[in-house]
Homo-oligomer: A and B are copies of this chain.
Amino acid sequence: MNALRTAEVIAVGSELLGWTRLDTNSLFIADQLSRLGIELRAKAVVGDDRGRIQAMFTRALERADLVILTGGLGPTDDDLTREAIAGALGLELEEHEEITERIRRRFERRGAQMPEVNRRQAMVPRGAQWIPNANGSAPGLRLEVDGRLVVLLPGPPRELQPMLLDLCAPGGVIAEGAGAERLHRVSLFTTGLAESQVEALVQPIYSLWRTEEEPIETTILASPGQVELHLTLRGPDEAHARARLARALAALQAALGNAAYSTDGRRLPEVVLASLRARGHTIAAAESCTGGMLLERLTSIPGSSATVIGGVVAYSNDLKVDWLGVATAAIEAHGAVSEVVGAAMAEGIRARTGADVGVAITGIAGPDGGTAAKPVGTVVIAVSIAGQPLMVGTHLFAGDRDMVRVQATQAALNRVRLALQA
């Protein structure tokens, strides 16, 4: 077999050509292949049409060392990937008794009889090897064609993912074909800085890496309230690559200071929860414009119930007064979106729940409710921790309602993170 350096992916399924569903398997495949240093050159989606699958496959096989097809391996008439590939390569399809037996037993374990139509899933192009599927009836298939590798995998992610992981693990046919060179990757997440600010701080550093003999590639990805740096380095020596990437990360962290919060892939809620846990602290939140999003993000993490007491969504002013002890006079004098009220909310939620940390968000998410003095996107964030000075600040976030809310929760989590370091 050729060394596997380049790959193409073809997702089969008419449902993936509509306006509701994307092929997400290709992200998982790109991730796994990139770790092995295999470059994904193109990807395509084609409907359940034998001729079109065949044409797309034939072209891909002319260009890439590895072609992966996903989907179209079910038992029904519109599952045509097996037939298309056999047709394109001029191979006969043969039933493998061993596969039929496995499918039959699978049905029997559930107290059912195998429908005759499922025999189609046991059809294998002559010379191909089949790949066991622990989570479904359709086996995968793999075959070598003029030194190139063709892999067929079922479409459902929970079936495809473990099968691909096996093929890409040491000893697996894709890992062995990929050779010694690997793509080594690290990431660094920041919050509190705009993409252009991050770029200005790190560009002078990473631009030097590009011209080295084994260049480090840097990609910047921005989403609301977060800017991520992804570093990749191609090379055969893992220890050497890891050491270089660690030095590169350290240089970026030095430049970014406190804005850098994670180099191990953990997101902000996880980092904040771990930091609270390490101090034995509990947390409670009082939210207005974010309407529960901050608490939802914190409690999305398994095991958070030991650290997150809960909190109040005080959307109305009455609730801010009755439940958090905010003074009506403060709301009247300064407005519900003010540092005075935000501070009172953070102190109120901490005092009334007995939490070690109280965090509050009050703001104007839009699209309505803005004024000249407090435009849409104005958000006050306050953090109250026993024995520490109260932290409160006003932000102005850009974007639509959802973007303002996401940025507000990021900023609140970040203020808690920084307050815990103080």
The reply to whether the CB of A250 lies closer than 8 angstroms to some CB of chain B is no
CB distance from A363 to the nearest CB of B (A): 12
Determine if A315 is an interface residue (Cβ-Cβ < 8 Å). yes
List of B residues within 8 angstroms of A205 by Cβ? none
- Inter-chain contact B295/A221, CB cutoff 8 Å: no
Known: A19-B31, A354-B318, A401-B302. A42 touches B44 (CB 8 A): yes
Q: Which residues of B contact A293 (CB under 8 A)?
A: 292, 296
Give the distance to chain B from A379, nearest Cβ to Cβ, in Å. 14
Q: Say whether A313 contacts B300, CB under 8 Å.
A: no
A20 CB contacts on chain B under 8 angstroms: 27, 221, 230
Q: Give the docked Cα–Cα distance between A18 and B47 (Å).
A: 23
Cα distance A393–B319 when bound, in Å? 28
Interface: A323 (CB within 8 A): yes
Give the distance in Å from the alpha carbon of A28 to the alpha carbon of B20 in the complex.
9
Shortest Cβ distance from A225 into chain B, in angstroms? 16
Q: In the complex this chain forms, how many copies of it are found?
A: 2
- Once A20-B230, A22-B27, A30-B17 are accepted as A-B contacts, the answer to whether A310 and B316 lie under 8 Å apart by CB is yes
Q: Is the CB of B42 within 8 A of A46?
A: yes
**A311 CB contact (under 8 Å) in B299, B313, B352, B354:** B313
Given contacts A20-B221, A27-B20, A41-B52, contact A296 B296 (CB under 8 A): yes
Which chain B residue lies CB-closest to A315? Answer: B310
- A313: contacting residue among B47, B59, B63, B313, CB under 8 A: B313
- Contact pattern, A 1-41, Cβ under 8 Å of B = 1, otherwise 0: 00000000000000101111111101110110010000011
Contacts of A49 in B (CB 8 A): 41
Known: A52-B42, A298-B291, A303-B368. A319 touches B315 (CB 8 A): no
Closest Cβ of chain B: how far from A396's Cβ, in Å?
19
| Chain B CB within 8 A of A45 CB | yes
Q: Does A308 contact B (CB under 8 A)?
A: yes
**Residues in B whose Cβ lies below 8 Å from that of A45:** 42-44
Nearest CB of B to A155, in Å: 15
**Chain B positions within 8 Å of A401 at CB level:** 300, 302
* B34 pairs with A18, CB closer than 8 A: yes
A residues 310-341 near B (Cβ < 8 Å) are: 310-316, 318-319, 322-323
As a 0/1 sequence over residues 52 to 78 of chain A, the CB contacts with chain B under 8 angstroms (1 = contact) are 100110010001000000000000000
Which B residue sits closest to A298, measured CB to CB? Answer: B291
Number of chain A residues close to chain B: CB under 8 A: 71
Do A292 and B302 form a contact, CB below 8 Å, given A17-B42, A22-B22, A354-B318?
A: no
Complex Cα distance, B52 from A106, in Å, reads: 44
Bound-complex Cα distance A49 to B39 (A): 13
Residues of B within 8 A of A129 (CB): none
Ranked nearest first, the 8 interchain pairs of A and B with the lowest CB-CB distance are: A291-B299, A292-B292, A19-B31, A292-B295, A310-B315, A292-B296, A44-B44, A310-B313
- Could you name 24 residue pairs across A and B whose Cβ atoms are closer than 8 Å? A18-B40, A18-B219, A19-B27, A20-B27, A20-B230, A22-B22, A42-B46, A44-B44, A55-B63, A290-B299, A291-B310, A292-B292, A292-B294, A292-B295, A293-B296, A295-B313, A295-B315, A299-B315, A300-B401, A300-B402, A302-B367, A302-B401, A303-B368, A312-B312
A residues in contact (CB < 8 Å) with B: 15, 17-24, 26-28, 30-31, 34, 40-47, 49, 52, 55-56, 59, 63, 219, 221, 230, 285, 287, 290-296, 298-300, 302-305, 308-316, 318-319, 322-323, 352-354, 366-369, 401-402, 405
Assuming A15-B219, A287-B292, A318-B353, what are 5 further A-B pairs, CB within 8 angstroms? Answer: A18-B30, A41-B49, A42-B46, A292-B296, A292-B311
